[in-house]
């Protein structure tokens, strides 16, 4: 395994990879790797000659400084896990200074409204931060394919938008959510939950599945009311939002229409840890 912390050294290495005509897959991460990340890494390893995994806790996408401070960081454990997938993986683990220099700020983008709802509404400038780091990584690595988990479905759509806006020649691949045995979507933040709460948080997925069952026969408003009532009765989990939206535009549903792909999106607090999830409804 080779680990780079400087853009210029990684670029020089990848230049020779490209000259040899090899394909490159990129898996951007903020570390604290779990099975969800490893499934993206395995997919990239099987589809590309070279896989680059970036590990960088990106400060500009955290609207809450406490969340940034508490974000889990396990660099050596991450390297060990990646080595189990393949010892050929290239890791890019830059410092904040290497990426941003003295100017730790994000770019501005026109996401065509994709950033105005759900995560964007509750986390001001979050997607500008995500866009800035993902665009930087895509430019440094120049991959053929880049892999992102569908747990952050809104992020995935926004990244596709940036690639189109900026005409970046890369294929963005969305990969299915990996879940813990009781249904909780895998996330680095799950590490911050106590074992009891982690088990109880399986409730989020149960609610999404029932919402999906109801979607065939009930109105979106009734489902929303039902979900809100379930969380009012739950003493461990606080609902931040539940929204049913069109999968492509992320526009919240008004009335169900044929031939549209709908998805339910949810954000919940458990012990001050913010958890998100989503599920395709039809
Ligand atoms: O999904 C994440 O872990 C992050 O938002 C990403 C894409 C690595 C950018 O920092």
Residue 25 has a pLDDT of: 98
Furthest-apart CA pair in the chain: how many Å? 60
Q: Using CA atoms, how far apart are residues 225 and 195, in angstroms rounded to an integer?
A: 29
Q: What digits encode the pLDDT tens for the residues 183-195? A: 999 999 999 999 9
- Give the Å distances, CA to CA, from 42 to 25, 27, 147: 10, 10, 10
Helix H or strand E segment including 191: none
User: Is residue 28 lining ligand 1, measured as CB closer than 6 Å?
Assistant: yes
Q: Using CA atoms, how far apart are residues 167 and 45, in angstroms rounded to an integer?
A: 25
- Give the Å distances, CA to CA, from 178 to 51, 152, 166: 20, 12, 30
Whether the predicted pLDDT of 217 surpasses 90:
yes
Q: Closest Cα to residue 197, out of 209, 211, 184, 187?
A: 184
Q: What digits encode the pLDDT tens for the residues 26-83? A: 999 999 999 999 999 999 999 999 999 999 999 999 989 999 999 999 999 999 999 9
User: Is residue 130 lining ligand 1, measured as CB closer than 6 Å?
Assistant: yes
Cα(263) to centroid(ligand 1), Å: 21
Helices (H) and strands (E) in the chain, counts: 11, 9
Q: How far is CA 279 from the centre of its chain?
A: 14
Q: What digits encode the pLDDT tens for the residues 84-115? A: 999 999 999 999 999 999 999 999 999 999 99
Strands 145-149 and 171-175 come out as parallel
- Give the Å distances, CA to CA, from 239 to 64, 200, 224, 265: 18, 14, 11, 11
User: Is residue 30 lining ligand 1, measured as CB closer than 6 Å?
Assistant: yes
Average model confidence (pLDDT) for the chain? 97
Which atom of ligand 1 has the smallest separation from the CA of 130? 9
Residue 255 has a pLDDT of: 87
Q: Which residues are catalytic?
A: 37
Residue 112 has a pLDDT of: 92
Whether the predicted pLDDT of 182 surpasses 90:
yes
Own/partner contacts of 220-226, CB < 8 Å, gap of 24 or more, are: 220/244, 220/253, 220/254, 220/255, 220/256, 223/264
Asked if 57 and 29 touch (Cβ cutoff 8 Å), the reply is no
Asked if 49 and 17 touch (Cβ cutoff 8 Å), the reply is yes
User: Is residue 144 lining ligand 1, measured as CB closer than 6 Å?
Assistant: no
Return all residues near 228 (Cβ < 8 A) that are at least 6 apart: 239, 242
Whether the predicted pLDDT of 212 surpasses 90:
yes
Tokens 């880049």 belong to 146
Asked if 263 and 247 touch (Cβ cutoff 8 Å), the reply is yes
Residue 98 has a pLDDT of: 98
Whether the predicted pLDDT of 174 surpasses 90:
yes
Cα(156) to centroid(ligand 1), Å: 10
Query: How many residues are there in the chain?
Result: 282
Q: Using CA atoms, how far apart are residues 117 and 158, in angstroms rounded to an integer?
A: 12
Q: Using CA atoms, how far apart are residues 45 and 58, in angstroms rounded to an integer?
A: 24
Which atom of ligand 1 has the smallest separation from the CA of 137? 9
Asked if 104 and 129 touch (Cβ cutoff 8 Å), the reply is no
> What confidence tier does 258 reach under pLDDT thresholds 50, 70, 90?
confident
**Residue 59 corresponds to which tokens in the numbers above?**
């400060």
Q: What digits encode the pLDDT tens for the residues 11-30? A: 999 999 999 999 999 999 99
The structure's pTM equals 0.96
Q: What digits encode the pLDDT tens for the residues 113-163? A: 999 999 999 999 999 999 999 999 999 999 999 999 999 999 999 999 999
């Amino acid at each position: 395994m080779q680990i780079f912390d400087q853009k210029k050294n990684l670029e020089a290495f990848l230049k020779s990879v490209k000259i040899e005509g090899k394909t490159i897959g990129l898996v951007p991460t903020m570390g604290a790797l779990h099975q969800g990340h490893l499934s993206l890494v395995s997919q990239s390893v099987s589809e590309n000659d070279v896989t680059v995994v970036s590990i960088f806790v990106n400060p500009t996408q955290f609207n809450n400084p406490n969340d940034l401070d508490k974000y889990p960081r396990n660099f050596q454990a991450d390297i060990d896990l990646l080595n189990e997938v393949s010892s050929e993986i290239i890791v890019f683990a830059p410092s904040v200074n290497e990426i941003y220099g003295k100017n730790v700020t994000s770019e501005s983008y026109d996401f065509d409204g994709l950033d105005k709802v759900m995560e964007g509404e509750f986390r001001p400038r979050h997607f500008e931060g995500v866009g800035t780091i993902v665009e930087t990584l895509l430019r440094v690595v120049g991959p053929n394919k880049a892999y992102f988990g569908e747990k952050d479905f809104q992020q995935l759509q926004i990244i596709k938008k940036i690639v189109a806006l900026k005409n970046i020649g890369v294929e963005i691949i969305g990969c299915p959510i990996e879940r813990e045995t009781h249904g909780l979507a895998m996330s680095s933040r799950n590490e911050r939950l106590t074992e009891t709460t982690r088990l109880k948080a399986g409730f989020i997925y149960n609610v999404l599945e029932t919402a999906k069952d109801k979607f065939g026969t009930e109105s979106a408003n009734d489902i929303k009311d039902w979900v809100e009532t379930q969380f009012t009765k739950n003493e461990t989990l606080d609902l931040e939002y539940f929204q049913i939206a069109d999968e492509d535009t992320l526009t919240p549903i008004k009335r169900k229409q044929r031939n549209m792909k709908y998805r339910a999106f949810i954000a919940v607090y458990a012990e001050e840890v913010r958890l998100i999830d989503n599920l395709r409804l039809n």
